[in-house]
Amino acid sequence: MESLIAKAIQLKYQPVALMWSDEKPADTMQFSEGKWGCVMWLAVHAAKGKTAVADKKTFGCFGGGVGLGFGNQYKYFPGGEEGFCHFLSTGNAKRQGGMEIAEKIKPYMTQESYDNFLHGERYIKSADRVEKFINALPLTEIPATYVVFCPLSDIDLPKEKPQTIIFFVNPDQLSALIVLANYGRGDNENVIIPYAAGCQTIGIYPYREAKSAKPRAVAGLTDLSARVYVRKQLGDPNLMTFAVPFALFEEMERNVPGSFLERHTWQSLLSENK
């Protein structure tokens, strides 16, 4: 499928279709079982034109398993959910049993991950607040074996129906997509920016929105760690994600002709970015 939106905003990278499937596509990138990886790399791989896949054994990291809809994987973090709550906040070094766990897992971790386990990423103020953060997530168990990321251009509609369409965009393009998401609605809160991991803003949050009668788009890549990983892959410090439940994507596609995207204000922004 060719996207009118991608053409109108002169998207640098391909729109990514996130699919659920019980069959694994051929010739696809997949993390090795038990090996660490960032789910955002899978999305980036698809934005570059290749297919990537994850399942319950190859989602890369615990947050990635949560983000893709494989349930509450934080329960399996070293030290359990409590260990994760300290990891995201103040660290495990001073909690009872924390150092013992750290020594057991040290051979399997990068120096950065080990330091974060001990001293915390400090993204949330305290462990009890991380627990509240987890409880607020729209945790999901998807009804399929695989989450597949592929270029939208490879999708054959109506034979295949994506769950979510993901755009990697610069600030001007993000602004245009926010306008377009609200363009035909008659109200003005049709895009959300939840505090969540990068993978969760392209996964479980759009999944939740897809169940609504008026699904909203999800702006993301506000996750600082994910920004570091994506920047290394794409070399662009200015990218954000914009994840659209498929029903809203179809609505936005229909609204491109005759919209502001054909008018001089948007065209002037495009010309300045060339």
Residue 115 lies in a domain: yes
Q: Are 206 and 245 in contact (CB under 8 A)?
A: yes
Q: pLDDT for 49-102, tens place per residue?
A: 999 999 999 999 999 999 999 999 999 999 999 999 999 999 999 999 999 999
Which residues make beta-bridge pairs with 243?
A: 166, 218
| Residue numbers of the domain that contains 150 | 15-61+141-272
Is residue 232 located within the same domain as residue 187?
Answer: yes
Q: Which of 121, 136, 151 delimits the end of a domain? A: 136
Arithmetic mean of pLDDT, 8-13 = 97
Arithmetic mean of pLDDT, 139-146 = 98
**Dihedral sign, CA of 17, 75, 229, 129?**
positive
Residue 25 lies in a domain: yes
Structurally, the chain folds into a number of domains equal to: 2
Residue 4 lies in a domain: no
Residue 160: which pLDDT band, with cuts at 50, 70 and 90? confident
Q: Are 171 and 92 in contact (CB under 8 A)?
A: no
Is residue 99 located within the same domain as residue 146?
Answer: no
Residue 188: which pLDDT band, with cuts at 50, 70 and 90? very high
State percent of the chain over pLDDT 70.
Answer: 100
pLDDT at 274: 67
Q: Which of 136, 157, 176 delimits the end of a domain? A: 136
- Edge-to-edge, what's the strand order for the sheet holding 191-192? 52-54, 146-151, 16-21, 164-169, 240-245, 217-220, 191-192
Residue 1 lies in a domain: no
Residue 7 lies in a domain: no
pLDDT at 154: 94
What is the bridge-based pairing of β-strands 146-151 and 52-54? antiparallel
Is residue 145 located within the same domain as residue 176?
Answer: yes
Is residue 35 located within the same domain as residue 121?
Answer: no
